[in-house]
């Protein structure tokens, strides 16, 4: 098992016969950052640097997380977050809170047998939320949001060129690319 980022206490918990993992989420929406975890009740996490306390609200079995995959190739892999049991009358308000390209983070934490947090959670996934998908039932609804890895941004074109005109459109007083067209067809001889 890889122990990257685990403290000594967390390694001790992982090597114990019974493990109590906890998945925590920081989800950025239109008006707020929501802190939830896949458990029951509230879980308070204190940042070791700023000493700011964050309360994560438990969603119990109403929340689901797809598998977080790793691979040997450089490839953007995403996850899916699902929240079920939503009252259909609150669905419009819920959908209005979701912004495309908002940040989402997933943390792994370990709990002691007494339910206490062991050290600080470890960020195991960070990405950008995509368009939500809705599944309606007669009494409840569920919302699924795909969260894309930051690497998906590498596949997008930047829309710029290394020309003087393109550079001046962005920065009118920049002469850095003024002579690029002049140097394109020049034959340069380097002396030994």
pLDDT digits (tens, 9 = 90+) for 37-81: 988 888 888 888 888 899 998 888 788 888 888 878 777 788 888
In a domain, 18, yes or no: yes
In a domain, 151, yes or no: yes
For residue 1, pLDDT beyond 50: no
Structural domains in the chain (count)? 1
- Parent domain of 93: 8-155
In a domain, 192, yes or no: no
In a domain, 164, yes or no: no
In a domain, 28, yes or no: yes
For 123-152, write each residue's pLDDT tens digit.
Answer: 989 998 888 888 887 778 888 888 988 777
Is the Cα torsion angle 178, 182, 185, 188 positive or negative in sign?
negative
- Check: pTM over 0.85? Answer yes or no: no
In a domain, 2, yes or no: no
In a domain, 73, yes or no: yes
């Amino acid at each position: 098992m890889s122990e990257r980022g685990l403290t000594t206490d967390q390694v001790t918990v992982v090597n114990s016969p019974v493990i109590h993992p906890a998945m925590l989420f920081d989800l950025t929406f239109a008006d707020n950052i929501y802190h939830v975890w896949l458990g029951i009740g509230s879980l308070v996490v204190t940042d070791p640097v700023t000493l700011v306390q964050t309360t994560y609200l438990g969603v119990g079995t109403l929340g689901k997380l797809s598998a977080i995959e790793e691979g040997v190739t450089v490839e953007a892999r995403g996850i899916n977050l699902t929240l079920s049991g939503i009252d259909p009358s609150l669905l419009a308000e819920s959908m209005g809170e979701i912004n495309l390209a908002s940040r989402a983070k997933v943390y792994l934490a370990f709990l002691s047998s007494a339910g206490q947090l062991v050290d600080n959670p470890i960020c195991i996934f960070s990405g950008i939320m995509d368009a939500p998908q809705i599944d309606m039932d007669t009494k409840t609804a569920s919302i699924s949001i795909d969260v894309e890895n930051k690497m998906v941004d590498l596949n997008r074109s930047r829309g710029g060129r290394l020309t003087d005109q393109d550079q001046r459109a962005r920065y009118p007083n920049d002469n850095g690319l003024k002579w690029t067209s002049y140097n394109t067809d020049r034959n340069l001889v380097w002396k030994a």
